[in-house]
A and B are shown apart, each in its own frame.
Chain A
């Protein structure tokens, strides 16, 4: 058997796992691993400028492709800097493996230099974690880490590697396990047949059904199954912020995003439905509004791979635990077996009602000749990219404008931090997408607040020539915070100003990128055209937008799903 050191085992295990790209930052506790990496030509490493960005890059890489992203960092601050990134991935169920260095085993617990209990610190935000106390444990720990990260409800897994375990002088027999079995971990994949039958019957009997699709449908690669079921049964489809693209936003049955900033038609349909069929969604508080007023007349059907998501917030009348892809396949078989479609209720009255809600045109906004509206930027972006770009987003108003005004055609096209709401996510995530899919157009929608939370990565993009496009909606303030302060705090703008936004054009240029400032509405499209014509350059578009604009619709706090502000002056 081949003899390898612990450090070599780490790199060889990654190779055997098929890892091609890794994102990280070296330091004392991982020097041996970095030395082994230096001698390996199969894995491309990207040196970030802050470990948080490495995790977001791996996250974007994963979300764009479904391949498990991988991070390598040192102990102590290297590890703790990863936590926000790991928590971001955890909240959105993104598979990822984070390898962190650790002080030598005989130093653990002594408050050694750059020591942090990474297993302890990361525990609430990982799916699982491993501390390798012997070099021989490394291959199986890495195998299990990748298996756990990607299977069941996906999530991040940490592997903590003490320095002595990596010792390049001590060699051990190496064999990468082909398969892994864990007696305590057996995710349920196929749904209960009796429940599926009940679900089919309920679906056919529904007069006002809504298909409510979340990010789980994207994680499970079940978009085609969702589309098939929706078309077959002529169901209106509402998607969550995480589910955008799982069902094409351009499809005639799409009623758009639902929830706090959902469309009028999506929220009205949900509230008035008699059946809600949740697919890989988790009834997040940004969807339900007040739980006790949630969809009063609806039967709730819920497919989820994670039993804890079912009946956690909203009681499910027909729960089905299983992989969405498998369960929707089982439903198809059942529909055919029962010849169920001929029993289906006529939905034309329901569609008529939905169409009256659509006529409200909740996304129409007032245009201006003098000032650029943020919505207008997203519409122009959609036009210029022909709706084909991979769009990542930071967190705030620009994120909601992106979600509402750029209809996503396919899954893995819209990449944002939905659960944790991490400002600073969008730019490194875009970099990860571009590394994974260099032929795709990748654009990060951001704002002057969010972009500054990981702006140092302009340097990484310079080093590796990662030509993403940055579309920054610059409103000289923390727009979403300001919107809430205007609406709920009598306009007291406590610390929501950015009095000293830098010259982003010069900043981009300092890193040898292209910066373009856009002030006038008529310059918007030409500037975007120009930026996207520069295929091989990172272009930072600093777009001055109306700072007074709010995101609408917006649900009224403590109300039901149908209680919404539709503009500064109208509410339902």
Chain B
């Protein structure tokens, strides 16, 4: 089961390593991890995607909560939520491929953010699935040079929130 965990953590040196260390030390996997400071500069918010069964997810949530620096933990995939990932892809775009890449970017609502005579860099945001599909489509249209993805970040829909 794929889970997205949201973590509110003290913005202090070493806090990130405690979270990452917990995952490696207890044999949990991290598929993606994003972290940045929140509107409150003393707090960081982290989003982790992981794969585990329900029992293990419960244990991960409890273990995270046990870390002294962690304020709040919640499982986003527990309820309706919005999740997004940002991707930048640098591709070959010369000859007929140039138009094909542009068309694909338009279909996926991507933006071309950098251009050279022979290459495009496309920016795309969306769910992990959408990004995967875009890479597959681009791969058929042209040669992919470089891909960078931000990892998932997410927020609950509706009134539910993760505040200190």
Contact = CB atoms under 8 A, between A and B. Distances in A.
The answer to whether A binds B is yes
Contact of B71 (A119, A131, A148, A184): A184
A464 interface: no
B68 to A, nearest CB: 4
Nearest to A129: B14
Nearest to A157: B68
B59 A312 contact: yes
B62 interface: yes
Interface of B: 9-10, 13-14, 17-18, 21, 25, 55, 58-59, 62-63, 65-66, 68-71, 164
A124 interface: yes
Contacts of B68: 127-128, 148, 182, 184-185
A182 B164 CA distance: 12
Contacts of A383: none
Count chain B CB atoms within 10 A of each CB in A124, A129, A183, A308 and give the residue with the most.
A308
A306 B71 contact: no
Given A131-B14, A184-B10, A184-B71, 10 more contacts: A123-B17, A123-B21, A124-B21, A131-B13, A182-B68, A183-B164, A184-B68, A307-B62, A308-B62, A308-B66
B66 to A, nearest CB: 5
A311 interface: yes
Interface of A: 119-120, 123-124, 127-129, 131, 148, 182-185, 306-308, 311-312
A148 B71 CA distance: 15
A311 B58 contact: yes
A168 B13 CA distance: 26
Contacts of B62: 307-308
Contacts of A306: 66
Contacts of B21: 123-124
A451 to B, nearest CB: 31
A123 B18 contact: yes
Contacts of A311: 55, 58-59
Nearest to B13: A131
Contacts of A308: 59, 62-63, 66
Contacts of B164: 183
B146 to A, nearest CB: 30
Contact of B65 (A127, A183, A307, A312): A307
Contacts of A185: 68
Contacts of A131: 13-14
A308 B25 CA distance: 15
